[in-house]
Each structure stands twice: as C-alpha cells, then as structure tokens.
Amino acid sequence: MASPPLVSRGGTTSAVDSNFNAGLVTHAPDKMTMLGSDFVPFTAPASKQTYVSGHTTTSTGSKSKLGNPSRYLFLADSPKFSLCFYEGAGARVSIIIDDEYVVRDASLGIPGASNYRYYEVDFSNGAGEQITWGRLTSDIDPSSNGLGFVVGQTIDFGDGLVCRVSQLNSGGDGSIARLALVSSGNLAAKPTAPIPQVSTSGSGTGCEIDNTFFFPKSDTRKMRKIEIVLTGDSGNQSTFGGCYFMGIVTQQKDTVIPWPENKAMPKIAMIGDSFLDGTYTQYAGGNYGLSIAQYLGLQERSIISAAGGTGWNTNSGTGLKWSAPERIADAIEYDADVYVYLGSQNDAGQTEADIVDAVTSTIDAIHAAKPHALCIGFGPMYGGSTTTDARIKLGWESVANQNRARFFSTQDPNQWFDPAYAPGLWSSSNDQNHPGQYGHDFLARLVAEHIFAGVMDMASI
C-alpha cells in the first residue's frame, strides 16, 4: 500500500469521538457484511450488543465458531476511525484494507486486560485530515471578460487554479468568452467572488471568475474496502478467547456501508480438523482455508467448519465427528455449491467399515439435500497415514453419486507432508503433527489446485 495508515492500540475511549467508550460504536457488525459464518446477536460484557459467529454444532447442542476465522467487511471513506474490541486472551486480528494487509497480526490477548479497547486507524498519520478547495467544471464563463487576451494562453488565479483561454468574443478586443480548466487548484478555503487573475502567460488583463462550482478535496478521504479477520487460538476456540468485535467509530460526516457481497458467486464450504482450525497459524488471516478460498477467487463466499481432533468418525471434546447428524445438518445449512472435506489422521483408530460408512452417509445426505452440490475429499494431511488414507478413499468410491464426488489422496503416490523429510520446514518445533505458517501456505496452494481440478472434472460431466 502506497500510503498505509498508522494503526495503534488506543485506550478505553475512541480517539475519533470521546463520546464513545466502554464498547459503544457508531456502526455495529450488523451494519457490515459478515462472512465465513452465521452470525447471531450477542450480549457482550456490560450489556453491550454485538454479533458473534456460530455455525458448527458441538456436543452441547449449541453452535460455536470454535477456532474458525470470522470476517467483517465494509466500505468507508473515513480518514480516521476506531475499531472496538472486547479484548480476551488468545484472540488475534488481521486488518486488510483494499485487499492489502496493514496489520497482519495484532494480539488482543493482553493479560488481565479483559475490557473494551479502541484500536485507532489513521490515514493522516496523526496530522489530521487536510481540506482544500478546487474548481469543479471544465468550461468556465468569466464574470469579467478582461482585454488583450489570445486563445491558448493560460491565466493563473492563485493556489494552483489555472485556466486556458479557449474562446474570445467577436469584438476583436481580446475579451474572453470562455475559459477551459487546466488545474482545479488547492485553495485553503472556499473563495469569495470575484476571483481575479494573478498572472498570465500573455499580456491580457482584467479577467475574473466567480466562486461557483467549487468542491472540497481531502488529502486522506477516499472510499476504501476494510476487512477485519478475527480468530482465537486452539486453547480459546469457543469465544475467540473471550474477544468480541463490537464495531467501529467514525465521524458523523463519514460514509460507512456494507461490502456488496457477490451472492451469484459459487459458495465453498470446508470441513476439517485442527489443521483447518488454524492451529499454529502466525496471524488471524493465515488460516489455510482462507488462503484456499483466495486462490480460487471465492474468498467472499467461503465458510470454514473445523474442530480440532475430529474426523469422519472421531469425536474430540465438544467437537462432533463429521458424520454426526448435527454436523451433516450444519453442512446442508451452509447451502454451498462445493463441499470440501480435508482429512483426517484423527480417524487412524477407526475401522475400515466405520470410515466407509461415515463418508458415504455424509456425502449421500448432502447430495440428497443438494443434488447439484460438488463434493471433494482429501486424505490425511500429514505423512504416514497411508492406511487411513486408503480407507477414506474407499468411502468416497462408495458414494452413490460418483458424478458429484471426487477424492484426492494425500499419501499415494506421494506423501504431501512426509515427516521423514525436513519436517521443520512446515511443522511446529514442539509438535510434529501440525504445520506452522509455512505449512499452511504450502497446503493452501496444493489443495486449491486439486479443488479446481476436481470441480472442472465434475463440471464437464
């Protein structure tokens, strides 16, 4: 970004408007486009209202975001605005403006600081918005025609306001009939009439113009696409680590509108385990599911439903197996065009019969509810699970509608993540079962290419 904003962690009161503190905002998330989940009203601490995501049913019967990222998009022309969060341990945020990261990772987990906090985004870098005035119309009739001018010469009216003589009156005295705008100018205030010439490239004198059709120009105000990505770590999945996005604070003269989501675009739903849950990502937007959607051009129409430790026939904590009736119902509610199931090595202890039944019952149920849905499966993401990979493959080969189902092995003929080869390149040093950010980036590119190939293959039938 040519002119990135200054982003700073502020206090418990907005620096944009001191009337807004302790969680109060001018624009709550329901005034934005909320992506990547189903969002529901939520009462945050001190009875402040916001919206939180909840799209994956747990064993408690309630729906949770788990560790999956939530995204908030809007358009704003604000030179400066405040982002308000209720801070909580383990939560992180990425700020993306006009599709570029301005904050890749900001930790919201300040120990002992569970309160409302305003983060200031300032495009003037502390200088404040500077307003100048310029002339709007390109053709100008002078209020005083002057004498002695010739067509083509320029007239400077000060502060960068320059016009060119484009037409003279017929009397032959060089009086001006029409001026053409060369430069709109940068006047410190709206001028008063009349505006006399300051200098000219020729010998004419006495030209004046009126003060109509002037407009204010800001050095920092422009309509920008703003995206907030919020997530929690694996230890604080159910409530973003107790962190909530409350919304933004802007000036009254600012314009804020929801991002116009393209609902004609295909929607992709990704279901997975702790890999897709974002374990050991280095920033909130680093989830490889988000990167997959970006590679496919579907970032505005994607949803991630992942629970660490789960698999086709494996529960973990409150996380339900993918074949559980509740998880199948969740998937159908996502109303996706493409469903992608990633993994899982967590099914290593399951029998072949159980895995095959779990895969077929899930995909057949999705096809029954959404006959045109394209379903794509992958084997375990980590190396060494060749048996589990083969069992999952058999399940996909047993799906009733083979025209709408594809499976890609991650173990045969090559292991995508082979622990025998430099695992430090993609694994966490204290956990050789999960990738770090490099591994998430690697997986995203590889998986996206296979999803595209699978979709094109099925679309040709």
Label residue 107 by pLDDT band (50, 70, 90): low
User: How high is the pLDDT of residue 413?
Assistant: 86
Q: What's phi and psi for 264, nearest 5 deg?
A: -80, -15
**Secondary structure class of 47 (helix, strand, coil):** helix
d(CA 50, CA 107): 20
User: 374-378 and 338-342: which strand pairing?
Assistant: parallel
pTM for this predicted structure: 0.85
Label residue 234 by pLDDT band (50, 70, 90): very low
d(CA 95, CA 121): 10
Q: Looking at the predicted structure, is the pLDDT value of residue 242 above 90?
A: no
Residue with tokens 């010739």: 150
d(CA 87, CA 279): 20
Q: C-alpha distances in angstroms, 169 versus 157, 165, 176, 208, 409?
A: 21, 11, 6, 15, 81
Residue 442 DSSP label: H
Instruction: Using the Cα atoms of residue 51, residue 52, residue 53 and residue 59 in order, give the sign of their dihedral.
Output: negative
Q: How many CB atoms lie within 10 A of CB 449?
A: 14
Token pair for residue 199? Answer: 């200098």
Label residue 417 by pLDDT band (50, 70, 90): confident
User: Which residue, among 38, 52, 62, has the nearest Cα to 318 in the 3D structure?
Assistant: 62
CATH 3.40.50.1110 fits 262-461, yes or no: yes
User: How high is the pLDDT of residue 350?
Assistant: 95
- In terms of DSSP H, where are the helices of 243-334? 288-295, 325-333
Q: C-alpha distances in angstroms, 288 versus 12, 99, 315, 369, 445?
A: 33, 17, 22, 28, 9
Bigger pLDDT: 212 or 338?
338
Residue with tokens 């009349």: 194
Q: How many CB atoms lie within 10 A of CB 35?
A: 22
User: How high is the pLDDT of residue 278?
Assistant: 83
pLDDT above 70: percentage of residues in the chain:
91
User: How high is the pLDDT of residue 158?
Assistant: 92
294-350 residue pLDDT tens:
999 998 899 999 998 999 999 998 899 999 999 999 999 999 999 999 989 999 999
Bigger pLDDT: 107 or 231?
231
Label residue 428 by pLDDT band (50, 70, 90): low
Residue 192 DSSP label: P
The alpha carbon of 446 is separated from its chain's Cα centroid by a whole number of angstroms, namely 22
d(CA 240, CA 278): 12
User: How high is the pLDDT of residue 232?
Assistant: 58
- In terms of DSSP H, where are the helices of 151-287? none
Q: Are 84 and 120 in contact (CB under 8 A)?
A: no
Q: How many CB atoms lie within 10 A of CB 353?
A: 12
Buried b (16+ CB within 10 A) or exposed e, 188-227: eeebeeebebeebeeebeebebbeeebeeeebbbeeeebb
377 strand-pairing partners: 341, 407
Label residue 241 by pLDDT band (50, 70, 90): low
Q: Are 315 and 270 in contact (CB under 8 A)?
A: no
260-275 residue pLDDT tens:
988 889 999 999 998 8
pLDDT above 90: percentage of residues in the chain:
54
d(CA 313, CA 344): 10
User: How high is the pLDDT of residue 82?
Assistant: 95
144 strand-pairing partners: 208
User: How high is the pLDDT of residue 238?
Assistant: 37
Token pair for residue 308? Answer: 């660490």
User: How high is the pLDDT of residue 429?
Assistant: 55
User: What residues have CB less than 8 Å from 397, skipping those under 6 apart?
Assistant: 407
Label residue 415 by pLDDT band (50, 70, 90): confident
User: What's the chain's average pLDDT?
Assistant: 88
Q: Looking at the predicted structure, is the pLDDT value of residue 216 above 90?
A: no
Bigger pLDDT: 388 or 51?
388
User: What residues have CB less than 8 Å from 430, skipping those under 6 apart?
Assistant: none
Q: Is the peptide bond before 413 cis (omega within 30 degrees of 0)?
A: yes
User: Which residue, among 196, 191, 197, has the nearest Cα to 211 in the 3D structure?
Assistant: 191
Query: Which range is most confident: 88-97, 349-358, 439-448?
Result: 349-358
Q: For the chain, which residues make up each domain, given as ranges?
A: 1-126+220-260, 131-218, 262-461
User: How high is the pLDDT of residue 236?
Assistant: 36
Residue 75 DSSP label: E
Q: Looking at the predicted structure, is the pLDDT value of residue 237 above 60?
A: no
User: How high is the pLDDT of residue 125?
Assistant: 80
Q: C-alpha distances in angstroms, 201 versus 155, 157, 164, 165, 209?
A: 7, 12, 10, 11, 17
Label residue 111 by pLDDT band (50, 70, 90): very low
Instruction: Using the Cα atoms of residue 353, residue 358, residue 359 and residue 362 in order, give the sign of their dihedral.
Output: positive
User: How high is the pLDDT of residue 126?
Assistant: 77
Helix orientation angle between 386-397 and 352-369, rounded to the nearest 10 degrees: 40
Lowest-confidence pick of 103-112, 189-198, 403-412: 103-112
Label residue 112 by pLDDT band (50, 70, 90): very low
20-75 residue pLDDT tens:
998 999 999 988 998 887 788 888 888 888 888 888 899 998 888 777 888 899 99
User: 139-140 and 56-57: which strand pairing?
Assistant: unpaired
Token pair for residue 87? Answer: 């801070």
For the domain covering 1-126+220-260, report its CATH number: 2.60.120.260
